[in-house]
Structure 1
Amino acid sequence: MHMSDKPLKHYIFASDFDQTLTFNDSGYVLSELVGIPTEEFERKAQGMAKLNLVQQGAELAYLLLHDPEFRSRVRKEHLYEVGKHIRLKKNIELLYQILENKIDGYQFDFYVLSAAPVEVIQSALEGIVPKDHIYGTEFLYTVDGEIDTITRTTAGYGKVAVLDQLQTQLKVGPDHIVYTGDGSSDLHVMLHVNERDGFTIAVSEAKHVSQIAKRTVLSSNALAVLAPILEDIVGWKRLKIRQFFESYGMLIQEWDSVRTDWLTLRPVLSDWPESEAMTAGV
């Protein structure tokens, strides 16, 4: 595709990892790998979330450092191995390349911001995303590979701090930031980006995140997040977007835009039937 000589508009594209670029969660894969039942991991993680014991998304990091069962079994090499077992969404590498220099007049620097251990992300995205574009939870290890301490957790407000750091470092305006994520650990950063006129994309129908994100995209293909970027930021019409995808051998077979209204109905009179909640697709 021919690139024009017009000045580039520079953006940051920041993405969550678990359930955003992948189909599964690092914590579940790691639990299976070291012989801990996934139900046990889920029970412990949910317990911490209910107590607000750690920032949303940092449950695995906390367990690796403080839970005797996880701490005694998990070594640094296990984290690298988990990365090789993670199921990635299709075309992450092509997404990286297109965002970098294939959209005429635009450059999006692709970064991954996640509470998952950085070794897991680096291993999973090896040869796809450079290591210095990956921010995850970082540990210090003992000589035998046991986790000793946490030096950085990119969860909750930690994602906001990293994004602000990148913005300053790359000299990008706050309205030139795109963030994509799937769940509660992305709420703080999405609100932060929206507040400063950036652009947020949810890749999950989870109510708490899809209500905050400016667009929601559901697909098993990582390239799908390009659609709202090309439509809302670059300003292309759908026909041109379809042609762009086809130039990379991708046919947009279905593109359904649906807005979901979440309604909770409460009777005014006390003798009416009990409250009922319903979802209406418009």
Structure 2
Amino acid sequence: MSTTTTPAEIDNLKARLKDTWAAGDYDHFSRYMEQGARIFYEQLNVPAGCQLLDVACGSGQVALWAARDGAHVTGVDIAPNLVKRAQARAKAEGLNVCFIEGDAEALPFEDASFEFVTSLIGAMFAPRPELVARELLRVCSPGGTIAMGNWTREGFVGQMFKTFAKFIAPSGMPAPVLWGVENIVRERLGPGVSDLQMARRYYSLTYPFLPADVVEFFRQYYGPTNRAFASLDESAARKLREELEELWTAHNRGGNELTVVAAEYLEVVAIRA
């Protein structure tokens, strides 16, 4: 974002971001992505008993897996409705997880509070990435691990973002998919880490219905898609739906009954210096 952005403009943007993630029903939406979250989490080899912070935790996809495996987990998200859903899910399972409302750009924790700091398809959407990088490094203890999963611009979700960009005016903030570019991640985290490993991996987006219904599912339940469609007139919304259906159909490997798309993301694993 521009260095001349005023505090009032930032406050307005944050309010819009909260409204965006409150739209739809992200908890319902995210249930179809839980196995991918499990795969991301398992690759980190988090030891039982460690202190783990999940940033932009949504309704608990990574945080709940970690808590089930015995980690001491805290989750933070900007959207209060998602925090409440995560709290309810933890309570239903009898898990002792602390979920709180908070901003990835100003995390409400002391320095070096956590041995693991994770963010799966979450912190990448904050508007000021330099502040996100600073905060991830600050709250991680020396020798601790920072792990992110970020959509790439070349991958399927990056292509979906490009489709939306044809219809929606740019926000003025850096593109979230820049967190999926290796040299940019190195610039953002590099000075604060002693080791930085990155690998391109694939998230299986799997739905028990066909691409046209997947687009409708996103429109109903995924906040950013819900708000995007709501901002368009009938003609533009119809054209956007057509282009999204074409994109999902072109990438579908699920046959005539399922939608299965491999979405590339950048796995980032850094050791705090």
Structure with more of its chain in helix, by fraction = 2
Taking structure 1 as the reference length, the TM-score comes to: 0.35
**Structure possessing the higher radius of gyration over alpha carbons:** 1
Taking structure 2 as the reference length, the TM-score comes to: 0.36
Greater length-normalized contact order (CA 8 Å, ≥ 6 residues apart): 2
